[in-house]
Structure 1
Amino acid sequence: MAGSYGVQQALLALILCSSFLLGANAFDFSLDSSSFTTDNMILLGGAHLTGSENGSLSLIPELPNNPQQASGVAYYHAPVRMLDPKTNKTASFSTKFTFHQIPESYNNSATDRRGDGMTFVFSSSSTWVGGAAGRLGILPLDQGNTMVKLFLVEYDTFQNSINRDPAFDHVGVDTMSAVSEVLEEVQSLGLNFWTGEQVWSWIEYNGTSKVLEVRVANSSSRPDSPLLQYTRDLVGVVNEQMWVGFSAGTGDAYSYYFIDSWEFEIFGLPAKKKSVSVGLIAGCVAGGVVMLVIIGLGVLYWIRKKRREAENVQAIEDFIQLSGMPDHFSYKQLSVATKSFSETSKLGEGGFGSVYKGILPSSGTAVAVKRVGAESRQGEREFLAEVSIISQLRHRNVVQLMGYCRDGRRLLLVYEYMPNGSLDRALLHPSSPEHVLSWERRMKILSGLASALHYLHEGWKQQVIHRDVKSSNVMLDDEFNAKLGDFGLARLVDHSKHAETTMVAGTYGFIAPEAIGTGKFTDKTDVYAFGAVVLEIATGRKAFDSSRPEDEMSVVDMVWDRLKDGKLISVVDKRLDGKYEVVDLEVMLLLGLICSHPDPKARPSMRQVVQVLAGDAPVPPVPLCKPSLSFSSGGLAVTLRDLENTRSTSSASGTFTDRSSSTSASSFLPNSSSFFTPKQGR
């Protein structure tokens, strides 16, 4: 496709050269639910079309076990001219769109559990996606971010005290901060954005008077008076070229956000007029000749690329056959099995494709079918990575790959079906209080995941670095055995070497700090992610939750703070109702912390982790306070024996209390040394 794209760009450049003398002024478009397509929209994150090729624009993945902190961004495929840099004059624009939001239905009740909201946005980057909770899918976590410029109108449905939000649904104007520069509630209009009813909105900006007006209504009749009127000079806020579109974020509760129609017009800037000169004409002619040469070379490149792609497809087929994969399925078989890949069959959606539940017609076997996104440039790369690695792995705690399908450019993988879904859904969003994971099941899941990672790191002929260990990639079978899946980001390396990449992979909260800084992934980056999962299992909280107070957003930081305060046991998941083993809980928490150590050299190997969980080795000493990245082994540490010397337990409830109300940090430390290593396991 790169060759074809290059030819198109060359032709476009040739056309633009001929039109250069005339310039361009106004620009507009109109889209509805039948004309949103992957050709005219850039879809990022969870954004997608409700149909296979066109349909309403959905900003959040539509699936029954939708994870929290989901976000999506959709831009029109071409930028718009917002600023004349010579005169510092900004364009005028007018837009009208309709949208509706469907809130989360939790236990068939509490339908007001709604996401954070959505935005109409101008962005200086067509690839920018911001944070989810509190960031509306578009705003950066760091307000000092200089990588992108943003101007947006938010349609907020969640009261976030940090962002100074009012109690009701509101419309606001933001730039680089989630704190609106100006906002107005919509309650006075008799509107709620989250009821599922369609909402109409009009946004108009006068580039001369600098006045922005926003209107909303529950019908197509444009209100005479604006809900919000704000004078704002966009010079310094926008670049000459900006991308226009929509974004949404779900936060703690998920909601579906749909754009049903969209009209947009921008005007008011002087055309880029240029004086006609002989030199300019000669330049255009010479440029045209150069473009023709480039087109010719591009066509040759495109032909050769197509040949190489055909050879690559055959190489995929040959590799799969050599790898001993059990079955090749036809596309028709998998289409029938998944009811034509219907929304009702969808189990989940990842960065490179969607996963569907299917029933094989020939055997009645339930399977999970992963369809690699055809629009993904990394699709074949991910397909090859997953096939080349997981098809060769044989372990009870690794998801089994049952087969594949290659039909032209359609690439599909067929896995064993996991009836109990993913760990994050079972742990964080049980269907009822009776389905809260028991302590025994949590220990079983943790041991299974540790066994899988030990096998990947040390049990196979090559070391496998997973690079995306997180609770949503841990699947649970009918007996709640943990099975690690999603190897699309995994890498094979020789033992004692590390995998290098130019792009940080993984999910915030599970990414080791050294991977962010260097782009290098090792078995110790997987250990870090494992530590985050351990603490999620023990506390029943997400690894990172931006909706919580700042000192509690990171579960790792929160647990380390409680350890320092002598209240480690207080972090336990309250839904367990005291039904847990205190010693096992202490082991789990200390193990999670040492695996989350900022210094990769201080983290244990997965072999050590397995030994600790089996009771064959003690937990290594854990620093009392979270170390910095320059941590040295001369600091204070706490061990399981230290905790046993400072706690008292209630056999009836399994709760923990300090011996003294004024326990100090030094009470955790043995008298003989600042570090204490137990001589025996638990």
Structure 2
Amino acid sequence: MAIVLRSLHLLMILYVSNIPLNFAQDESQFIYNGFSQANLSLDGSAKIHPNGLLQLTNISNQQVGYAFYQFPVKFSTISSLSFSTNIVFAMVPQEPELGGHGIAFAISPSRNFDATTAAYLGLFNFSNNGHTSNHILAIELDPVESAEFEDIDNNHVGIDVNDLRSLESAPATYYSNDERRNISLELISGNPMQLWIDYDEAEKLLNVTLAPIRTPKPNWPLLSRPINLSEIVLESMYVGFSASTGTVASDHYILGWSFNKSGQAQSLDISRLPTLPPGRKQKEKRIVVIRALLIVVVVVLITITGAAYYFRRKKFEEVREEWESEYGTHRFSYNSLYKATKGFKAKEIIGEGGFGKVYRGTLPSNEQIAVKRVSHDSQQGMKEFVAEIISMGRLRHRNLVRLLGYCRRKGELLLIYDYMPHGSLDRFLYSNGRRHLNWLQRFQILRGVASGLLYLHEGWEQIVIHRDIKAGNVLLDNEMNGRLGDFGLARLYDHDTNSQTTLVAGTVGYLAPELTRTGRATTYTDVYAFGAFMLEVACGRRPIERMGMSEELVLVDWVFECWSKGDILGASDPRLEGNYVVEEMVLVLKIGLLCSHVNPAARPSMRRVMQFLNGDADLPNIPYDSASFGTFSSSETLDFLWSPPSSFVQSSDPSMSSTVSILKGGC
């Protein structure tokens, strides 16, 4: 009898122990405040510590770890596809500011991945990244900036669909409900953080929210992206985590996880979550090695100190001449610029072109600057050139990038400017990874740049011809005001002199036709470039766009054709979706055409342009003669562009043939 009772008791225990398992499998919802005895499938380097802490990777290089819920979740299109999940994670880097490639929460049709470590986060590889057959939705927590995936920085959160080029991403921040502002978070700080991911099937909207571990869920998400989940997921999907390391590594941890396929995920109990391991202690063996090395260092200390002093002087050596003494307040030391840019590190590069590289820097006063490094081996005319730089440094206008000063080294000239946090305008016009500018912002930028150009032409003691006006040389400050920058091609002229030059320079598409014939730049060649810039901002298209192997769309010609057909609004940027002031859009497009007239005398001055934009003057009639507009108005101009003189800045595309078929697109 006792044996029978013990058998029944054992069966009862087994039955009861299976109840949570069946519940989780059927209901597709669960909560883990720690992962002891959790229904997880682990792979790679993933493991669960005795205290319930889930570790995906350790500080070994080139590894990947997976942890997925053991049972598939039903994502049937018949029922709602909505889901919600709450996660607490932590990334502890191997070295400060140097960590592994991050963690991804993934919804996948399989727990087995044909994937690569490092930047691929263990989800994809070189051959399958970007394929729609992957059927993978992932939220990446990425502390590494990978150029191949167009990452925005080295501390961001992204939404990925079948591809590590994120549909949308943002720097790691959270909205403080108390302070009502966004506050930055460092993903590899080693501190636990909370992540909420919510998908609403009714609105087809995916929200991603980030916050410190003990902060309530913010009222505003970090990312909010419309997504049709039915086009991504299959009926049966697995949910879980993937993490990877590369040449540097991190401990990637998950402390808690709740998931709900049919409603809001339960909040995690912070007090019940497992704790992270204490900081790593130095091994005894390493201490012995350090002590031995210390003895060696003491012996050769004098030699090393002397060598360091010598090389330091060489490293920060500058070129100074007596005539520069009068420009002392405008001269920066190379040492200060080196420190400001963290040693001119690659991650501080914010621009690159034929002139050299531009670095972001911070002075001891916390003032942010941009430092342009220009190779300059010739000393001929250097005194006049520096005098010109200092003179231009006195330019003061809210729509011009301020030139703060300079520094000289052997074979190198460094120019210091105000730092513009939002970068160049062309990134907002053409980059898919950035938000698009609305019409109000675009119109204000156009008016601002026009005001700055008027100041250069008429408002200062000398005439300044900019010579390279384009979206790439318009920078945006904190308030998204447009500022005209890069005066590297500008030349100064006294008001009572002939303000012309014979050096042909600039960018194809913005060059006035007379420049290709005479090589002389005037204020009206600037007006022509500004007209091309106005059309570029209004239409969201470059002045010249390749349409095929030997076909191009010339923006001026296309806008003129739309106007002549009575549908000038058809040239407006479709990304604006018609959200603009019609009168302002028509005004900008017509001014752009007037500024693009092939006859310089028919173009308005910048003062007249400002009067048009401010509504202080009426626009003149636009002639219906198509020969009056366009970049390529004659065969002479066309031949020049494809057989330019040595001083001309050519198109960067070597595949362009000598015969160009100009495609006039429909309106």
Give the TM-score normalised by the residue count of structure 1.
0.44
Give the TM-score normalised by the residue count of structure 2.
0.45
Structure with bigger gyration radius: 2
